[in-house]
Amino acid sequence: MSPPPSDTEQPTERGAAARERILRAAVRAIARDGIDGLRIARIATEAGVSSALVHYHFADREQLLAETIDYSYARAAEARIDDAEGPGSNGSHSARLAAMIDVCLPTTEALAEDWVLWMELWLRAVRHPELRPVAEELYARLHEWFVAEIRAGVDDGEFARCDPDEVADRTLALLDGYGVRAMIGDATIPLERARRAVSGQLARDLGLGERLQA
């Protein structure tokens, strides 16, 4: 490999910061222009770095795309975990699930940006089989996150006995369906209705009646 361009000759921390700026710029660009509009030069300009630096960190456009999707998921996951474990959770599995639902819907500008990226990924994965493992991996992570919380609630006696895998799959399917409707601005599915619908079904699946308990 040829030596990196001069603007990469910097401490590791600065290099990591530049890499993150590139990934953030790519998330914004895909949310705005779509995956097919992803261009290295455009990302470099938006990130305030040279195209050579982008190529140094990412071998090609496809690697940048794959890592951008992973970065977007990881960023959203951090927000999800922080919110689900925040003061409002009261330590109960039910409250944490309610928080998890809230941050799996496009309830903030950042989450809406991530939703656009994931919707682009779903569409592209249909047309490009090589991207299907990326989409499957993202779903596997989300699935396991919900399964772990549901199973813990069952083990602690907070939830009725159920099949955590089946309940998690149904919850994710509802989140996808209602989330897409909210993203396209469907007036019949505002975010609050989406939140209530997903939470209500999950509560029934877990033997909690019509809503998750705070």
The series of mean pLDDT values per 10 residues for the chain, 214 residues long, is: 42 73 88 80 89 89 82 69 55 88 88 84 82 85 92 96 97 96 93 94 94 75
Global pTM reads 0.74
Question: CB count, 10 Å around CB of 5?
Answer: 14
The domains found in the chain, sorted by start residue, are 1-58 (1.10.10.60), 68-205 (1.10.357.10)
pLDDT computed for residue 132 by the predictor: 85
Burial zone of 45 (CB within 10 Å; 0-12 exposed, 13-18 middle, 19+ buried): middle
The pLDDT score that the predictor gives to residue 76 is 67
What pLDDT does residue 85 have? 58
Task: Give the 3-state secondary structure of residue 201.
Answer: helix
pLDDT score recorded for residue 82: 62
What's the confidence (pLDDT) of residue 59? Answer: 86
- Residue the block writes with tokens 């159920």: 162
CA angle 24, 28, 31 (to 5 degrees): 135
